[in-house]
Each structure stands twice: as C-alpha cells, then as structure tokens.
Chains A and B, each alone.
Chain A
C-alpha cells in the first residue's frame, strides 16, 4: 500500500502582498493540490493523507468545487483529510456541509473517529478542528483498538494553542504511523513512525529550506518513508561576509552571480562581518536587486578597537565602551551592542568633524 502524506497546503494564502513575486507565490500555492493529484496518479498512490489546513481559511463553495474537481481526477486513490486550525469546520459552514466524492473522506468529528479500509486492513483515525484554537488533546488516553488492523493517525497541531502533544506521547499507543500537520518545517521522529511533512510550499519569507511531502510504503509490518521535495518556490537565506573594503557594487556583482533569476527563489540576505565605520554600506539598496525579500545587516563597525581601549579611562569614548559593554547573558546585549556602535559612531564622527573644522 503506497501513500502520500502532506499537510498545510494553505490553498488561498497570498504571501508577500505587494512584492513583485506575490502573484507567482499565490499561484504556486493554489496549484499544489492539482500537483498532488497528478503525483498520486503517476505514482499509483493508494492513499492520500492531508493532515489539516488544506485551505488557508474555512473554504468557500468555489474553493470546495475546485478541490472536488481535482479529487475527481484521482484514478485510484482514496483521500483522508481533517480540518486544521486554519480551515476549521463550523456547523452549517460550506466545508461542514460539503458532500465530497465517495473516495474522499473528511473526518468531521471533533473527537477521534476512524475510516476503515478493509482492502488494506487499515484504519485511519483523526479528528477535526472546530475553531482556531484547541488546547485540549482529545487523544489523551486514546488507544487504537487491538483488532488486528493497522492504524494510522492524522493529527494537526503540536504547539500550546493547537492540541499540545509530544510525539513520544503516542509511542506506547501503538500507532503504525502518525501523519502530523501544522508545523511548516519537515521533521521525523526517531522511531520513524511519526512525521511532519511541513507545508509543500513555503508560506512566508522565514520558511526557508526545502518543502515537500512524505511518500510512504506499507508492506506487511514494515513501513518505509521517503521524503520528497515538492515546492516550486523557495526562500533562500544568503549569508554574506563583509569586510571594510566591500563595496555595494562588489556585493551586487556577487549576488547577481549567486541568485537564480528564473523566479523560483526569493532571497533573504544576511550580512555579517566587519564594515567600514566611516563609509557604511547602503545595504538596503540591495532590495532593488530583484528577488530579495529583506536584508538583515548584522555587520559590526570595524573600529580600531585596540587603539580605542588604549585611551585613558576618563576618556568619553572609553567610558561609553565601558558603560555599554554587554554583560554575558544580558537579554539586552544586542541592543547594547547596537547602542555602543551608534554612540561610538557619533562620538568618533564628531571628533573627526571637529578635526576637519580645525583645519
């Protein structure tokens, strides 16, 4: 029995509004279900598991109609899905009342309920959200029946506001596979029996890294999982080391070489290293370079630290350095460090200016 496990498709999400690549992003997210249907057909997948948040918000009739159209294209795949904290059910809502085709099983119950697949001797258990927040765990104390069937669990959540649980909670319960959803970053627990596939497409610029799904195979008692990349689009963090000699032009040339221009990647630039305190880089200019979501400037000014420390104790620069020296494990340390650079910049700048005036 072959299955695909995905979650958090978030159909309807439109990230990066106002940025040039926003439309491409929205399109990629909108087409993800269509691509899963194609995958199921190509790979002869028996079961498609969607562990919540198929939609970005409780779906409209139109969105459900579109989903139906895609589901109906499935050649021989059964679908089991649950509603997550984004696309939660509500009595009387379009989602709650929607009649899916017979091979698509939405588990509407708010408490664990199972769908039986006698052909594979498999039970798929799950429950749906009826609101954005669910702080209880309806699986506490739930143990799948010892009926000789294999048991899959569909579960959306994992943080304090969304069915708090620890994957190890379920090890004793004897699930054959726990298909998780909600966290957008993929992860696999040690026993290999619980997996979070992450969202198939990244949903905001902090979701860098690869995005995909799990292709699973159940043969007898053995379960094998294969993580496969899926996203058509990715956010990439580029770390760039800067020296006092680096110029904006040099950075631009470097980035032009490293950045893909086919629109499949958007970059978050993280500048580190030492900058020239007298001629700081206009790093935010790099935003105009194209697919750059943001520029994080974490460079430090390249002051002659040793010489500054040589100054007498009562020297204003020394005093500022002493006052703003970040203590260890000071939660304010980053602010202090910034404040130190600002203060030094201003003091040394005034010194320099005064020398110029004296000339």
Chain B
C-alpha cells in the first residue's frame, strides 16, 4: 500500500494542508508547534476514522485531538492511496454525527464510488496493529501490553489463508459462553446428593439385613412353651402345697404334731402289742388266779427250805429213800417257786404294758377305754404307723413343693432372659424394619433424582464437546502462533544485530511478547538496556512484525520525532537500514535537522515536505 496524497480541510491547528507522498523516504519538516504530530494523527484519523465518544477511547482521543481550532464545520479531509495498481480516495467528514465516509476508486473510466463498508485496506490493517507496528510515536516505540493477544488473533487470521474474517478470540469467547450456559444447567448438588444417597442406601441395606432375625420365631415358640410349662408347674405346686397344708391341718387337729414322738409311741405300741400277744398266748385265761399264784410263790420257799433240810437230814442219817423223797419235794417246790415267780413277772409286765396301752390310748384316742389286749395295741400301732406314713408323705410332698419352687424359679429366670433376648431381637427387628423403610425412601428419592442426573449427563456431554472444541481452537491458535513466533524472532534478531552493528547478536521474544536483547549468549532485560538500545530493540521487533504481517505488501512507516534517544551513529545506521532494506514509504516527521543532515551525509535519497 502506498499513500499518494492527503488533503486536510480542518484538523486541530491544521487548515487546508495538502501533501503529496512520493516513494522512499520523505522528511516532513517543521518547527515545533508547526503541526507535524497533528498531521500524523490526522492521517490515522483519515485511515481509521474518529468518532465522538463512541468506540474505543483511542478513537475518542483522536476525535478530541483533531477538533478544529477555528472552523469545526470543516472538520475532516481526504486521503488517496494506491494498492495493487488500483487507486482509491476516501473522504471523511467528522463534523457530521455519525461522521460521513465516502470512498471512491479512480481508473481510466473516471471515479466511482465504493460501498464504504468495503474499505480496500490490506488485511490486518487494524488501528491496533497500526499503532503498534507502523506508527512510531514520540513517546517511544515500546509495544502495547495487549499486543500479544491482538497479534495472536491477527496471526491466526493471517494463517487462515489471509482472510481476516475469523475472530479467534470471539469464537473462543462464544464457546466459553456456551460452556457457561451448559454449566448453569448442571446441578452438581444432585450428583453429590445421589452419591450420598447411594452410600446411605448401601448402609441401610446392610443394616436392614444385619443379624438375621431368623432365630426370633424359634425363640418365641420356645418361650411360649416354657411359659406354659412354668404355668403347669406352678399349678402343680399350688395343688401340692394346698394338699400339704390340708394334711398338716388334719394332723394338727388330732394333736399329731411330732412325728418323732409318734414314731416312738408307735414303737411302744408295737412292743406292747407283741408283749401282750405273747402273754396272751402263754397264759390262758383259765390259769390260776393271781392270788393263788402269789400264795404259791410265797409258800414255795419255805417248802424248799423244809425239803432241803429233810434231804440234808436224811443223808446224814442215811435214810436215803427219805432223802430221795426230800429231794423230789425240794425240786417240786423249786419248780413251783420258779414257775410261779415267772408268772408273776409276766403279770407284772402285762400290767405295765396295759398301763402303757392305756396311756397311749389316752393320748391318741381319749374316748376309747382299752381292755388291754394285744389287738388294741396292734391297731393302735397300725394307726400310728399310718400317721407316720402320712407324715412321711407330707414330708415328701413338702420336698416336692420345694423342688418345684426351685425349678419354677429357675425356669422363670430362664424365661426372663429369653424374654429379654426376644425383646432385644424384637427391637432389632423393628430397627431392621425401620431400615427397610429407609431403603424404600432412599430408593424413591434416587428415582426422583434420576431425570436430574440424566440432564446432568446430557449437559456434561455438551460440556465435553465444548471443551474439545475450545481445546481444538486453542491448540490451532497456539500452533499458528508458534509457527509465527520462530520466524518473528529470527527476523527481529537479524535486524537488531544489523542496526546495532553487531554489538548484539540478536533478541528473544517470549510468548507474551516480552523482549530480551541477546549479547554474548546472555539475555538482557529491557530495563537494563540504555534508552537508545531499547528503541533499537523495539524497532527491530516492529520491523520483523511488519514483514510477517504484510509480507507481500510494503506498508508506509510513520516516525513521529521518534529518535530522541538515538545518538548520531545509531540514527545513521537506522536510516541506512531503512534505505537499504525497507521497500515501503517512510514518513519521517521531524523538527530537527539531525535526520536531514544524516541523510545528506549518508547520501540517502529523500523528499522533503515543509510545514509552515
């Protein structure tokens, strides 16, 4: 692209300025305040437009900077340029709101209007890139911090067959916005809730099965059985104890209290019965009466003595027959004596026994008057035997009651513990039933969550696709940039080495477009460089970018008093470099003669426009 002429109607202090721009280097000279910078700004305004407080702040400031000092109605101008053999002219009227733009093309047939939306600029000819590459200002040629991002987008578009239509940043922003929309659809709390529910469900299921209650029914039946047994036992015991009580009462009523005494009495009665029986058998009732027996026993002793004396006498007098007779008499009286004394004993015993019998009857059957015979004694003995048996029976019963009481108490203890067990089991079972209900409730909640989770899955799939799209575009952009980055660094390095006369071997560019100078294999940060070297560094970088951005189309350069930091030597080699290597127009806006002197000295051809 080549600028051919411009006509400023009114722009800031400028009024009716007309310039022709030839090829090569053009020195635009003027004293301070003569309007060189204003012309520089006016050119930018004509190229990119300027709107009142709309659009970018930069444009706004251009608009303000360009407001005519005298006649605001003529705020504007026209610019002509040549591109690929075609000639174009645009005219801007900033006084209108919105500003008016008129584009025409001139060919052999004359001039015809172009639709203003199709300004025939070269690709990537954006204000942003213009101010960061082609246009060097007084403030220095450092590049804007946002350049990295902007450049990236432009590089991507350049790679994209040079069509400047794709806006990678906007595309990525749109995708991220879509991703945010999908993320808004996500209900992550449903996920965590469902995980929580699954955990609870597992737990509830385990608890609803924990410790099978299978034994419960068996234990329940056993308890029922044992309780029935205990009840029967208790009934039996009551019956026994009633009987025992009744028996004891009956015995007591008859004064039968002491089984031991009764036993002794029974023995006595038995003894008496035996004795009486013996007596009755030995001494029939026909035998001599007691008095006779007594008399006989009393008399027998004297007889014995008389016979004894007779015997002794007869033996002494040898009257042996008498002696024999006396001996017979003696033995007879001895026999009688023994016989009768025995009988007396028996009678005494009889009396005794009868007395015993009477006593016993008095004791046990006071209304009965015993005759004193053995039969009575036997009956009494039998009666007492029966009483004793009753006592023994009651004792057994008592023992049984005691035993039953003990068994019962054991059984009750056992039943109690079984009951407690059952109660525990029952509560465990109720617990299990509660857990079962919990399982059902959890299931219902999970069922209700299912559609939400399904939506989440769907949104997640969209997000996955969006992430893939974003990553793909990002990696394409990164590749495009790395494709671009290496030659950029290489070119810039070469230029930097050239214009520093080999003092620096090159420069490095970081991903974020931070620059470092390279000297003796060391990287030097910009803040450590002198002002002049720093300017050379940025110049080199800009030149490399320009070559890469517009490789086939030489673009005009604008230097607006940008060499303040350059010494003579540096400026000289820079001008020389531009003359030798830069194919496009170079517009030097200058208020000093330094540039002119150096151009003359180095015999570099140039044109001159003088602003007055």
Chain B residue numbers with a CB within 8 Å of A91 are 212-214, 216
A340 is an interface residue with CB less than 8 A from chain B: yes
Chain B residue numbers with a CB within 8 Å of A354 are 164-167, 170
Chain A proximity of B452: nearest CB distance (Å) = 9
B338 is an interface residue with CB less than 8 A from chain A: no
B36 is an interface residue with CB less than 8 A from chain A: no
**Contacting pair B160 A315 (CB below 8 A):** yes
In the assembled complex, the Cα of A135 lies from the Cα of B454 at a distance in Å of 28
**Contacting pair A92 B447 (CB below 8 A):** no
Chain B proximity of A15: nearest CB distance (Å) = 7
In the assembled complex, the Cα of A345 lies from the Cα of B448 at a distance in Å of 35
**Contacting pair B209 A343 (CB below 8 A):** no
Chain A's interface size range is: 35 or more
| Other-chain residue from B156, B164, B443 in contact with A57 (beta carbon distance below 8 A) | B443
Chain B proximity of A132: nearest CB distance (Å) = 7
In the assembled complex, the Cα of A16 lies from the Cα of B437 at a distance in Å of 21
A232 is an interface residue with CB less than 8 A from chain B: no
**Contacting pair A335 B461 (CB below 8 A):** yes
Chain A residue numbers with a CB within 8 Å of B473 are 316, 320, 343, 346-347
B328 is an interface residue with CB less than 8 A from chain A: no
**Contacting pair A342 B429 (CB below 8 A):** no
In the assembled complex, the Cα of A63 lies from the Cα of B163 at a distance in Å of 73
Chain B proximity of A260: nearest CB distance (Å) = 22
Chain B's interface size range is: 35 or more
| Other-chain residue from B170, B174, B209, B451 in contact with A131 (beta carbon distance below 8 A) | B209
A-facing residues in B420-473 (Cβ within 8 Å): 429, 432-433, 436-437, 439-440, 443-444, 447-448, 450-451, 461-462, 464-469, 472-473
**Contacting pair A343 B472 (CB below 8 A):** yes
In the assembled complex, the Cα of A343 lies from the Cα of B466 at a distance in Å of 8
The answer to whether A92 and B216 touch (CB under 8 A), given A17-B448, A319-B476, is: yes
| Other-chain residue from B175, B217, B464 in contact with A343 (beta carbon distance below 8 A) | B175
B205 is an interface residue with CB less than 8 A from chain A: yes
B-facing residues in A10-61 (Cβ within 8 Å): 13-18, 57-58, 60
B184-218 CB mask vs A (1 if < 8 Å, else 0) is 00000000000000000000010011001110110
Q: From B468, which residue of chain A is reached at the shortest CB distance? A: A339
The answer to whether A350 and B168 touch (CB under 8 A), given A57-B443, A342-B178, A358-B117, is: yes
The answer to whether A57 and B464 touch (CB under 8 A), given A92-B432, A343-B469, is: no
Chain B proximity of A245: nearest CB distance (Å) = 24
**Contacting pair B163 A315 (CB below 8 A):** yes
In the assembled complex, the Cα of A58 lies from the Cα of B208 at a distance in Å of 11
A324-350 CB mask vs B (1 if < 8 Å, else 0) is 100000000011101111110111011
A351 is an interface residue with CB less than 8 A from chain B: yes
In the assembled complex, the Cα of A358 lies from the Cα of B165 at a distance in Å of 10
In the assembled complex, the Cα of A354 lies from the Cα of B167 at a distance in Å of 7
Q: From A344, which residue of chain B is reached at the shortest CB distance? A: B469
**Contacting pair B439 A18 (CB below 8 A):** no
**Contacting pair B214 A340 (CB below 8 A):** no
Chain A residue numbers with a CB within 8 Å of B461 are 334-335, 338
Chain B residue numbers with a CB within 8 Å of A316 are 156-157, 159-160, 166, 168, 473, 476
**Contacting pair B468 A57 (CB below 8 A):** no
**Contacting pair A351 B166 (CB below 8 A):** yes
Chain B residue numbers with a CB within 8 Å of A342 are 175, 178, 465-466, 469
In the assembled complex, the Cα of A17 lies from the Cα of B448 at a distance in Å of 6
Q: From B440, which residue of chain A is reached at the shortest CB distance? A: A57
Chain B residue numbers with a CB within 8 Å of A314 are 159-161
Q: From B429, which residue of chain A is reached at the shortest CB distance? A: A92
In the assembled complex, the Cα of A347 lies from the Cα of B448 at a distance in Å of 40
Chain A residue numbers with a CB within 8 Å of B214 are 91-92
Chain A residue numbers with a CB within 8 Å of B157 are 316
In the assembled complex, the Cα of A91 lies from the Cα of B209 at a distance in Å of 9
B171 is an interface residue with CB less than 8 A from chain A: yes
Q: Considering the complex of A and B, which 6 residue pairs feature the smallest CB-CB distances, nearest first?
A: A338-B465, A339-B468, A359-B117, A346-B171, A92-B213, A343-B469
Give A residues with C-beta under 8 Å from B: 13-18, 57-58, 60, 90-94, 131-132, 204, 311-312, 314-317, 319-320, 323-324, 334-336, 338-343, 345-347, 349-351, 353-355, 358-359
Offer 12 A-B interface pairs, CB within 8 angstroms, sorted by A: A13-B447, A60-B437, A90-B209, A316-B159, A316-B166, A317-B166, A323-B472, A338-B461, A342-B466, A346-B172, A350-B166, A351-B166
